[in-house]
Amino acid sequence: MLATLGCRGRVEQCNELVSHLNASAKEMEALRPNGDDLEQSAEVTRQMVGVAQRAVGRLVSLDLADPHLQAQAAAYKDVLDGMARGTERLAAHIEGMAKLEMQANGPATAKLEATRRTIEGACAKLTSDCRKVIDVMATVPTDPSESEFAGVLNGYAAGLESLALGSPLDRLVSDHVIAIREFEKLIEDAAELQHKADEGRVDLDAIIVQEQKLVSEINRYCVGPETPTQEAR
């Protein structure tokens, strides 16, 4: 948090600026995204966008006569504008990941399992074609890691696609391959969004560093060099 100010001559303007910034800081600090819950994380990140935008509005509304405070407020507004834009992009990435997660856990998994069970039902009587399919199915790891999953699905689909099968099993396997490829695409899209979200967090970290420098500058200007140990955010 910004220091409690006791400056001489410009105390009123300093306190006005600091009170606006501290109000926004308290709002932001109260928001806690949960990395294990994408829907909650997306919602909280959206709320952060609103906090940054309201903070910009507060700064614009200030009537600061002190030229140095005007410059610091303008610099802080630029930082908050960048924070709002970056957080908006991050929220969009997380929302996209949440939608993909819902699709993967719902209809995509249901389709994958349904097409697999259809093949198993058709192969209740073991034929030479069914043996080929079952042999490919047996190569799939039962519990691949998250990083391996897309590669496992790709290898599984490619193995089924390589089979020469007679009707109607060829159609059933083709339907299953479509479901596998769709699930694989979901995983790839989610990985791409995760990469963009990670990059966005790095950018936001850099903006926060700028904000902290401005906080220190405002504290030094308003409090003065005689209290260098005042608490800063």
Co-location of 106 and 91 in the same domain: no
Co-location of 218 and 177 in the same domain: no
Whether pLDDT at 92 is above 70: yes
Residue 3 belongs to a domain: no
User: Please, what is the end-to-end C-alpha distance for the chain in angstroms?
Assistant: 4
Whether pLDDT at 49 is above 70: yes
Contact call for residues 78 and 99 (beta carbons, < 8 A): no
Structural domain for 87, as ranges: 11-95+196-223
Peptide bond into 168 cis (omega under 30): yes
3-state DSSP helix/strand/coil % of the chain, to nearest 5: 75, 0, 25
Co-location of 150 and 203 in the same domain: no
Co-location of 48 and 106 in the same domain: no
User: Per the structure, how many domains does the chain have?
Assistant: 2
Residue 117 belongs to a domain: yes
Whether pLDDT at 173 is above 50: yes
Burial of 43 (0-12, 13-18, 19+ CB in 10 A): middle
Contact call for residues 165 and 127 (beta carbons, < 8 A): no
pLDDT tier at 224, thresholds 50, 70, 90: low
* % of the chain with per-residue pLDDT over 90: 63
Co-location of 90 and 18 in the same domain: yes
Q: What whole-number distance in Å separates Cα of residue 71 and Cα of residue 61?
A: 15
* Ramachandran area for residue 224 (φ above 0: left; ψ -120 to 50: alpha; else beta): left
Nearest-CA neighbor of 154 among 166, 164, 144?
144
Whether pLDDT at 226 is above 50: no
User: Which DSSP category does 229 fall into?
Assistant: T
> Between residues 222 and 157, which one has the greater pLDDT?
157
> Between residues 6 and 149, which one has the greater pLDDT?
149
Number of H helices, E strands in the chain: 7, 0
Nearest-CA neighbor of 133 among 94, 166, 97, 107?
166
Whether pLDDT at 126 is above 60: yes
